[in-house]
Amino acid sequence: MSMFIAQFLTVALVHFFAVASPGPDFAVVTKNSLVYSRKAGIYTALGIALGISIHVAYSLLGIGLVISQSVVIFNAIKFVGAGYLIYIGYKSLRAKPAPPSEISSVVQPEKQMSSMQAIWNGFLTNVLNPKATLFFLALFTQVINPMTPKYIQSLFGLEMMFITFVWFALLALVFSNTIIKAKITRVQHYVERATGVVLIALGIKVALGGNK
């Protein structure tokens, strides 16, 4: 049992630092929280957490190793993921200034994003990130002992999903805060465009990255 606890703490620490580091997930949650609403940001966080479940599932099944070793499959995921990031980045670049009425009184944004749209936004951003594939493969082969029972590994996966959701939900709460939004509303379109540039840059980086 002590071995499992030690593994759990190691996995939790490694995963937290990976989640906390800026990347596509961070950019998407930030954008949706600022541009749309707190609800959109939290549902985006939920989508990212659900994306984690896919990485955990194929890692447990050993499919992650197959994906990492197959140039065709890995590149397919890489280019689809890169294309998706560039697409949502391009949409952000087209952001327009908020109307005067919205600037003078910070109310619910005119732009709306449904719960399902937010979930899919977060889910696809996470699942189609090839770096996440390699991260989970390394985690389940190098950090977690292969002899660890599958149900224990599944518990590790649930913990990672939970921590992922909590972290990004907290980010959504921060960036959707009324005071913060009030300060950003006047330049919100610039923030959204800047986020678009970041997403496009990340997409290009993913597309040009190797498979190792």
Least confident of 90-99, 140-149, 197-206: 90-99
Our separate counts of H helices and E strands in the chain read 11, 0
Q: Measured at the alpha carbon of residue 152, what is the angle toward residues 151 and 154, in degrees to the nearest 5?
A: 60
Domain residue extents for the chain? 2-7+25-208
* Cα gap 121→150, rounded to integer Å: 30
Give 153: exposed, middle or buried? Use CB within 10 Å, 0-12, 13-18, 19+: buried
* Cα gap 85→64, rounded to integer Å: 22
Task: Tell me: pLDDT of 40 over 80.
Answer: yes
- Across 61-65, 151-155, 164-168, the highest mean pLDDT is recorded for 164-168
Give 143: exposed, middle or buried? Use CB within 10 Å, 0-12, 13-18, 19+: middle
What is the longest distance spanned by two Cα atoms in the chain?
62
Task: Tell me: pLDDT of 63 over 70.
Answer: no
Q: What share of the chain in percent tops pLDDT 70? A: 77
Task: Tell me: pLDDT of 187 over 70.
Answer: no
Q: What share of the chain in percent tops pLDDT 90? A: 24
pLDDT of residue 109: 47
Task: Tell me: pLDDT of 149 over 50.
Answer: yes
Given pLDDT bands bounded at 50, 70 and 90, which one contains residue 3? low
Better-scored residue on pLDDT, 167 or 17: 167
Least confident of 21-25, 30-34, 137-141: 137-141
* Cα gap 34→134, rounded to integer Å: 30
Average pLDDT, the chain: 79
Task: Tell me: pLDDT of 104 over 70.
Answer: no
Q: What is the mean pLDDT of residues 188-212?
A: 72
Q: Tokens in use for 50?
A: 């659900």
Cβ atoms within 10 Å, residue 6: 11
Task: Tell me: pLDDT of 117 over 90.
Answer: yes
Q: Tokens in use for 16?
A: 């937290």
Please name the residue that has the structure tokens 């960036």. 175
Q: What is the mean pLDDT of residues 84-97?
A: 73
Amino acid sitting at position 167: W
* Cα gap 160→143, rounded to integer Å: 14
Q: Look up the pTM and report it.
A: 0.75
pLDDT of residue 167: 95
